[in-house]
Every structure is written in structure tokens, then in C-alpha cells.
Amino acid sequence: MPEPGPLDTVAQGDGFEDYYGLLAALHGYLRPRVYLEIGVHEGHSFQLASDALMAIGVDPEPNLRFPLPPGGRILRVTSDELFTKVDLATVTGGQSVDMAFIDGAHLFENALTDFANIERHCARGSTVLIHDCVPIDAVTSSRARTTVVWSGDVWKLVVCLRRWRPDLEVTTIDVPPTGLAIVTALDPTSSVLGDNFGEMCTELVPLTYDDIAGDFDSLLRPVRLGWTAIQGLLPAPYRGINERPVGGRLSGTGPA
């Protein structure tokens, strides 16, 4: 996978206006057969999965204001419940998840659990996106929510994956407002995250924004990239141009 070169780095102010724009481009290019989103809220990001054959949104308290994508279905459960009580493989008909977006509970250990659980349902060539990986400041990136814009300490997941899973390709895109990490080269057989979960939490949960402020760039390595460079980080599209989602096939809300 090519490293983005200096010519691919866009100037501050260029690139995608926000993460919705980047998500739309990722959907348009990757064309996932199965898309999984943890944390749907109003359905703004979920509606961008309009081309996915199957789009599964997971949220215990969705408050939909945007239309469901044609292949979309909301499961009103927490992500933990998805992986413990709901059989995701049954929901997908045994297909692996091509593309996933983690944007549920905003604490490090929740995002880590989400990533580890999702990876088991991926193929090596799948793509996992993690929202909120570029913290703005100490207040909005702390574990306690006191502000409207709040990324929580999800950013620690990038620190964790870089340290414990050097086999993964992790790129932290600095897209407003709080960044989006792209993870590829997945290993659904890896047990590293599950086996070392306690140690990871002991080490990283107490870490604060101020602790990493001096090493911010080296730990998170946020990059502002144009689409050409981002495309170079991605696997080939998951399907060709002829397969279209079937309208309403999986639409609906409610428990699995």
C-alpha cells in the first residue's frame, strides 16, 4: 500500500469539508456489499450507505431524521448486545463486513471493544473507519461529556492499535471536526486485542489530552489528504457497477 507523499498532502483548508463528505466518497468508491455502522443517531452518516447492498445500523436509541438507505436496517441494540445477543453472521447471511464505521459510545474501551468485535466479522480486505480520532482540545476529548461537540477519548484507539497491532494499516485523516481513522489490512483471526484488553485499558484509560499534547503528531499522525491520496490507501472496490441495492429489502427498525 503506497505511503502518501508530500505532493498528495493538501494545504490546510483543502480536502473534505467534513467527515460526511469523506464518508460519501468512501461509499462511492468502495461500494461495500455489507456496511455496518455503530452509532446512527439521526441517520446522517447512515444515509450515505445508499449504494450498499446491505446496511446495518446499530443504536440503542436512534432518533432518525434522515431517510434509511435502500438496503438499510436499524438494530435497536447496543454494539455489545449486537455481538453477544444478536448473531451478526445470521443478519448478514454469513457474509463478512466489507466496510464498518465506529461512531457509538465515545469512550476508549467501548471503541476498542467495537473494533475487536467488528474485526472478527471482517475479511482481510475489509475497511474499518473510526470517527473522533483527532481530538480538538482537552475538554472535548476528555472522558466526561461537558460540551456539545465531544469526541471523548476515542483517539486513544489509534494510539492503542499503533502500539499493539502494528500489522494493521492505520491512517488518521484530519477531517473536520474531529478526524476519521481508516484501518485496513485486518486480521479476523487476531486475538491480540481481546487477550490484552485489561492491560490496554490500564495503560490508556488514565491518559489525558495534556499527557500526549507534546507527542500529538507522532502518536496520532493526523494527515490532511486529498482524495487521490486517500484512494491509494484503500482496497479495490468490493463490487462492480451492475449490482444495485434492492429498495426496501431490509428496511425497518426494531430488534433483530
Other residues' Cβ atoms within 10 Å of the Cβ of residue 36: 30
Contact present, 71 and 93 (Cβ < 8 Å)? no
- Cα–chain center distance at 174: 14
Q: Which of 58, 102, 170, 212 binds ligand SAM (CB under 6 A)?
A: 58
Q: Which residue stretch of 56-64, 85-93, 140-148, 166-174 sits at the interface with ligand SAM (rule: CB under 6 A)?
A: 56-64
Exposed/middle/buried for residue 50 (C-beta within 10 Å: 0-12, 13-18, 19+)? middle
What single-letter DSSP state applies at residue 225?
A: B
Residue 1 CB, nearest approach to ligand SAM (Å): 26
Measuring CA to CA, how many Å separate 6 from each of 1, 118, 170, 175? 16, 33, 18, 17
Nearest to 215 by CA among 150, 163, 165: 163
Residue 104 engages ligand SAM in binding (rule: CB under 6 A): yes
Q: 38 vs 181, which CB is nearer to ligand SAM?
A: 38
Residue 81 CB, nearest approach to ligand SAM (Å): 8
Whose CB is nearest to ligand SAM?
A: 39
Residue 79 engages ligand SAM in binding (rule: CB under 6 A): yes
Q: Which of 44, 85, 163, 244 binds ligand SAM (CB under 6 A)?
A: 44
Q: 8 vs 141, which CB is nearer to ligand SAM?
A: 141
Other residues' Cβ atoms within 10 Å of the Cβ of residue 74: 22
Binding stretches for ligand SAM (CB under 6 A)? 38-42, 44-45, 58-61, 78-79, 103-105, 110
